[in-house]
Amino acid sequence: GAVVSQHPSRVICKSGTSVKIECRSLDFQATTMFWYRQFPKQSLMLMATSNEGSKATYEQGVEKDKFLINHASLTLSTLTVTSAHPEDSSFYICSADRGQVNTEAFFGQGTRLTVV
């Protein structure tokens, strides 16, 4: 099956700093990538949809200036959490779409972010 690699798997950062998370499709071109977030004991929630070469579409309630998404190529999307605060501590996971109808998306391993 298709492989999506997400890096890093865990990161601890200081409050006020920025953290970048990468999502790569290793063996296919991803026209669309999705970013999800999961707080403890809650569902994975879609944050944004990113399309290669265009601006990301953010879900309601997600601050686009805080969560910067760049999808500069067909194999790489990045999520940057800017000026991170402890309440941003969460599990972030990406998925990538091959662009084929009625096929599932493929997920990365996820990133556990802890802001101290």
How many residues in total does the chain contain? 116
Q: Which two three-digit tokens encode residue 95?
A: 């998925």
Cβ closest to another protein, residue 14 vs residue 41: 41
Closest contact distance (angstroms) between CB of 109 and another protein is 5
Cβ closest to another protein, residue 57 vs residue 82: 57
Question: What DSSP character marks residue 55?
Answer: -
Binding site for another protein (CB under 8 A): 1, 4, 6, 9, 32, 34, 36, 38, 41-46, 49, 93, 95, 97, 101-110
Q: Are 49 and 56 in contact (CB under 8 A)?
A: yes
Nearest in space to 115 (alpha carbons), one of 45, 12, 43, 33:
12
Cβ closest to another protein, residue 44 vs residue 82: 44
